[in-house]
Structure 1
């Protein structure tokens, strides 16, 4: 077998790691599995396979979520694996085992989505939900790649990511160079806008829906710097009756598919997540940072600290279970409290001289957990002061859900908080991918 890489894995992404018989395609580096989708039944099975791909132990089933906490400074590598120590130091090498694996994950998802979209067109299959879901997942894969490996905060940068909108084999994949950041965002936004037109609103939180696509697009617009549309989309989700803030912050982890969840990746015993294996061993491979993250919450009596356990040696993360044998903790990918924080930031960006509307949204989230400790407008003198409060609130509200690193990067605090060189605010493209592409894929500056 050839070395597994982007150029290799995208050819076989369409196996989807699914247990469904229609997708049990024999793996071999010379086999094309394009025959896996032949009708509506196999098409729906293929879409189910996209959810399975998100569950990868190096994607939303584990390391992608934890990498952002490690590099973002709210987690510590307390085990013995070098890949986590590198992330903890926020000095990720071009040979990082994590980035090599996650690059494959994101582009496997993209290429699998491309195959579904191609088959829908070629076979003339009429299934708006499947098409909308595939567009959502292609956008998510590209977005996750962009915010890790591209200069996503600079719309003028040439260092975006390879954008793939057709199902490709390994030979073709090696010829795909990086797009600009602007063109990368353009494709992600286009896919989500089309997905919104195809999908329906749905109260089932375990499936991609129109509401989930709107929420993801709100997040994308915020990252892109399109604050008016970020506010507009976040407001649409906030006003959707399918969603409501839980009265207790921790209910979203204790109750599957709660009102607050917008899109929740469901794990069963048969396809269990890898999160508790990393967080709940003794000692855990990854723990919560004590002094900069857990202690301030604990001292405030913040119930958001209740999903963390201070053993006296390390702070365990209990969001996904308390034992390493707990396999069914769901990954919350989109939730309503994030939309309030998205809208809060968008409003502050649009009108930094009048922060009252932004602080009102922020307090909607904060006072659920700290009803007697709202942020007062008189305490926030300027936008920089607002960013300090926003980062703290996002840290507590979205901890260990895959946000922290991206937050401090896009809010331009990574270098000051972590003491790293500016170029390290973007992960390096895995050197393996550059070598396999014969230099078609260019490395990020500084690496």
Structure 2
């Protein structure tokens, strides 16, 4: 998909196209909302289109997942792509191709969701699952924007994100200023709660459902710092009999839609992922970091290391396929082991001087792979030691699934691990967006 300014979108039965820049887009090229969704059939096609946006090679189908591993320090840029080299150093310019495409992706998801919601109201279309899905994806788009471009760890910060709750066209897209962090979280949580109220439980792993929204809300509450609610939502999902930890870690990659999967983004031969293009070529554009990630995991004979292949020069990532022609590996968006790790952290945050129950959850995940090596209370004498242990488990369990950068930022470790100044723990807003908005969208401090 070519690149396009934040919200100049063309929607036709759920499919999106774009032009190279805002200057290439004529207003006549925009399909009016009345032509995009006219009945239940086109409404449901538009909902499927939301999954299509997520599949973009610059979103969950590729670069979004790679970016968080690169800036998080568990991946290396081993090819020739400048955008990956910038991410590898966690020194990202305002002209970065990655942040420009990511900004477009997240707001494409938001704007398409808004179109669905508005047309449902306008045409009085009654489909609770479609409405719930649009609310879920609007929340996800805003959340992915906030945790990349907003100061999400500071609840009192004014540097949130543009919160867009109406379908916008080229004339109005540049008039929406950044909300505060608290306001940004508020809209995300409101949308997810509304989705939960509308969704039914469904054990289909390839489409979002009530449990998917509960799981995402648990993640959102954890990032927000609402630890009691993060614990409660994670517990709700853990207690759902539709899901269970697989007996072996690697089963989730060997069997699509396994018991542990809560939401997998499914790729087929006709709409394959871009991950193997970057991870499985020779040499790969992106590989796993040996010194700070793979070495210790491999030395432990941890089964989680079996999804990586050390050639002695680079460490290939085999989570999505072993050749660049193998493009049907699903992206694991949410899985049950993450819920145990969320609950472990939420419990530790609430009782930092009593880590017993937090360790029980952490070990539930760890001992699946290392049954003879649980973390003992003596190994984590204080909360900081627990955080260090948690980061290791989260890295091994969730590597190259879009979490690492957010984890080290959220847990206050990015500066020490990466040796970067504090302002770089937030990605810059693409300068193009600041310029096009004529300063309505304010840049992050020190960029």
Cα displacement (A) at 1:16: 3.5
Which residue is 2:193 aligned to?
Answer: 193
Shift of 1:12: 2.4
- Partner deviation per Cα, 1:259-298 (whole Å, 9 max, x = no partner): 0000000000000000000000000000000011001000
Distance in 2 between residues matched to 1:312 and 1:320, nearest whole Å: 21
Report the CA distance shift for 1:131/1:169 in structure 2 as closer, same or farther (over 3 A).
same
CA contact (8 A) 1:7 1:436 kept: no
Q: Deviations over 1:187-233 (max 9, x none)?
A: 00000000000001111000000000000000000000000000000
Unpaired runs of at least 5, structure 1? 20-26
1:171 partnered with 2:171:
yes
The 5 A counterparts of 1:22-37 are 29-33=27-31, 34=33, 35-37=35-37
Aligned counterpart, 1:113: 113
Runs of 4+ in 1 over 6 A off after TM superposition: none
Note if 1:388 corresponds to 2:388. yes
Structure 1 CA distance, aligned partners of 2:289 and 2:119?
47
User: 1:379 maps to which residue?
Assistant: 379
Conservation of the 8 A alpha-carbon contact between 1:14 and 1:115:
no
Q: CA offset at residue 31 of structure 1?
A: 3.0
- Considering only aligned residues, what root-mean-square deviation do their CA atoms show, in Å? 1.3
8 Å CA contact 2:10, 2:16 repeated in 1: no
Gaps of 5+ in 2: 18-24
- Taking a change above 3 Å as real, the CA distance of residues 282 and 442 of structure 1, as seen in their structure-2 partners, is same
2:330 aligns to what? Answer: 330
CA contact (8 A) 1:14 1:111 kept: no
Please say if 1:339 is aligned against 2:339. yes
Equivalent residues in 2 for 1:27-426 (5 A)? Answer: 29-33=27-31, 34=33, 35-426=35-426
1:61-116 Cα offsets, whole Å, 9 max, x none, are 00000000000000000000100000000000000000000100000000000000
Whether the 8 Å contact between 1:146 and 1:161 is mirrored in structure 2 is yes
Kindly tell me: are residues 446 and 217 of structure 1, through their superposed partners in 2, closer, same or farther at Cα, counting changes over 3 Å?
Answer: same
Quote how far apart the aligned CAs of 1:44 are. 0.5
Deviation at 1:29, TM superposition (A): 4.2
After superposition, the C-alpha distances for 1:164-206 in whole angstroms (9 at most, x for unaligned) are 0000111111100000000000000000000000001111000
Q: Does 1:442 align with 2:442?
A: yes
CA distance in 2, matches of 1:172, 1:399: 39
The residue number in structure 1 matching 2:15 is: 17
1:3 and 1:412, CA in 2 relative to 1: closer, same or farther beyond 3 A?
closer
**Distance in 1 (alpha carbons) for counterparts of 2:178 and 2:45:** 31
Distance (Å, rounded) in 2 between the aligned partners of 1:229 and 1:58: 32
Report how far residue 13 of structure 1 moved. Answer: 5.1
User: 1:368 offset after TM fit, Å?
Assistant: 0.1
Kept in 2: contact 1:37–1:46 (CA 8 A): yes
Q: Alpha-carbon deviation of 1:408?
A: 0.2
Q: CA deviation at 1:378?
A: 1.4
Q: Quote the Cα distance in structure 2 between the aligned partners of 1:29 and 1:305.
A: 51
Distance 1:81 1:38, change over 3 A: same
Give the secondary structure class of the aligned counterpart of 1:171: coil
Q: How far apart, in 1, do the equivalents of 2:328 and 2:279 lie?
A: 14
Q: How far is 1:17 from its partner?
A: 2.6
Preserved CA contact (<8 Å) 2:14 2:45: no
Matched residue SS, 1:205:
coil
Q: Tell me the CA shift for residue 446 of structure 1.
A: 1.0
Cα distance between partner residues in 1 of 2:231 and 2:248: 25
Per-residue CA distance 1:2-48 (angstroms, 9 max, x = gap) = 9821142xx425663379xxxxxxx9642332111111111000000
TM-score, normalising length: structure 2? 0.96
Give the alignment's TM-score, normalised by structure 1.
0.96
Q: Distance in 2 between matches of 1:48 and 1:3?
A: 21
Task: Write the deviation string for residues 233-268 of structure 1: whole angstroms up to 9, x where unpaired.
Answer: 000000001100000100101100000000000000
15 and 163 in structure 1: CA distance in 2 versus 1, 3 angstrom threshold? farther
CA offsets 1:294-344 (integer angstroms, 9 cap, x no match): 010000010000000001110000000000001100000000000000000
**Following the alignment from structure 1 to structure 2, what is the Cα–Cα distance between the partners of residues 281 and 39?**
44
Task: Number of aligned residue pairs: give it.
Answer: 437
Which deviates further from its counterpart, 377-386 or 331-340?
377-386
Partners in 1 of 2:4 and 2:335 — Cα distance?
A: 34
**CA shift in 2, pair 1:185/1:114, >3 Å:** same
SS at match of 1:352: coil
In 1, the alpha carbon distance for the partners of 2:90 and 2:154 equals 20
* Maintained 8 Å contact 2:3/2:104: no
Distance 1:264 1:367 in 2: 24
